[in-house]
Amino acid sequence: MRRDSLRLLPRIAAIGITQLIGWGATFNFPGVLGDRIAADLGFSLTIALLGPTLMLVVLAGVSWFLAGSFERRGARPIMAIGTLLAACGLLLLAMAQDRITYLLPWLVLGVAGAGILTTAAQIAIAEIAGDHARQSIGILALFSGLASTIFWPLANTLDDAIGWRATLVVFAASFLGICLPLIWKAIPSHTPIAQTAGPSSIHQQITLDWSAFWLMAGAIAANGFITWGFSLTLIPLFEDRGLGRAEAVAIASSLGLVQIAARAVDALGGRRWSGLTTGLIASAVLPIAYMLLLVGSGRGLILTFVVLYGLAGGAMAIARSAIPLTVFPRVAYARASARLALPGVRDRPARLRRDPDARER
């Protein structure tokens, strides 16, 4: 890595920590706490996982409308507001008494996610990294890949010690005490990317190639329909295949480490191949992983599935982030990424709904 890239590492690491907490303390925690919350509040696991579904739908819709705000104001103020909303949403969740008061805070978390999670972080990286954005986004993905690896065991441990409500209060405090200061310090308040060009050329530079945009959107939507949300069902799925609770949590949590391995390879060698190449390879490996899980059970087969699924999922995450940098000019990255969140997310809730139903049958 070049010297100027090394100078960016502290800022990239700070933004990465916000993503680790951002995903782990919101979208991911029902993967381990969902059944316990459902039992405590008197509804099914399907309803518990409907919360992350609502979060993703709202996140997708709000992201589309935030594109212009990212261009005009930059990432720092929007991510700071998103952090405050995330803390509020978790505190509301901690006070839930029934399905309605459980589901409504997920709408708040969806708005928060549009302002702080992956798309916002990638826009922040594009602002501070400039021509090094491709490799820097790969490094950022190493942190977000750890979300389930760290937060599933953490949530399980905290729930055993203090209960799920207090666990969510701790998660809310982490947004205020860790994420907010990191965002304010790591992301400079400077002229957004879209304004670094001359005034007469801004409109021309941020005009998207819509044919390329919709082709990319279709590919992301198809991939999201198959993969996103599936990880939240891994712990109950592994338990149904005969693993104990602790072993299921441990093996499912290792998925993040495998994803990081894939992302590390891409981050180190990403200059040698394009994001499109990464995406094609990942798309070829994913069906093999699913077929393994379909044909049998047993610890060995589950571990093999985790390795293949993790490698493909980690590589695909990099591809989704990096392809817009290949297809669109850097000045249009904020608008393209924010609007690609809509087709990428809108199909993901289908997976969240289906797998819990299958388990209950």
Give the CB-side neighbour count of residue 265, counting CA atoms within 13 A: 15
Provide the percentage of residues in the chain whose pLDDT is more than 70.
Answer: 68
Task: Give pTM, 2 decimals.
Answer: 0.73
Report the CATH number at residue 80: 1.20.1250.20
Euclidean distance between CA atoms 150 and 159, whole angstroms: 14
pLDDT tens-digit map of 19-50: 999 999 999 999 899 999 999 999 999 999 99
Q: Average pLDDT for residues 336-357, to the nearest whole number?
A: 46
Is 80 exceeded by the pLDDT of residue 237? yes
Q: Looking at per-residue confidence, does 332 or 107 come out higher?
A: 107
Amino acid 112: pLDDT: 96
Residue 19 belongs to some domain of the structure: yes
Amino acid 221: pLDDT: 67
Residue 132 is part of which domain span?
A: 3-356
Distance set, CA 263 to CA 218, 305, 331 (Å): 23, 18, 25
**What is the rounded average pLDDT for all residues in the chain?**
78
Residue 7 belongs to some domain of the structure: yes
Number of domains the chain contains: 1
pLDDT tens-digit map of 117-169: 988 888 888 778 766 666 677 677 777 778 888 999 999 999 999 999 999 99
Q: Looking at per-residue confidence, does 334 or 305 come out higher?
A: 305
Alpha-carbon Rg of the chain, whole angstroms?
19
Residue 253 belongs to some domain of the structure: yes
Provide the percentage of residues in the chain whose pLDDT is more than 90.
Answer: 31
Residue 197 belongs to some domain of the structure: yes
Residue 266 belongs to some domain of the structure: yes
Euclidean distance between CA atoms 89 and 83, whole angstroms: 10
Is 60 exceeded by the pLDDT of residue 345? no
Residue 361 belongs to some domain of the structure: no
Is 80 exceeded by the pLDDT of residue 274? no
Q: Average pLDDT for residues 237-248, to the nearest whole number?
A: 84
Residue 278 belongs to some domain of the structure: yes
Q: Average pLDDT for residues 87-111, to the nearest whole number?
A: 97
Distance set, CA 9 to CA 13, 129, 189, 283 (Å): 6, 10, 18, 30
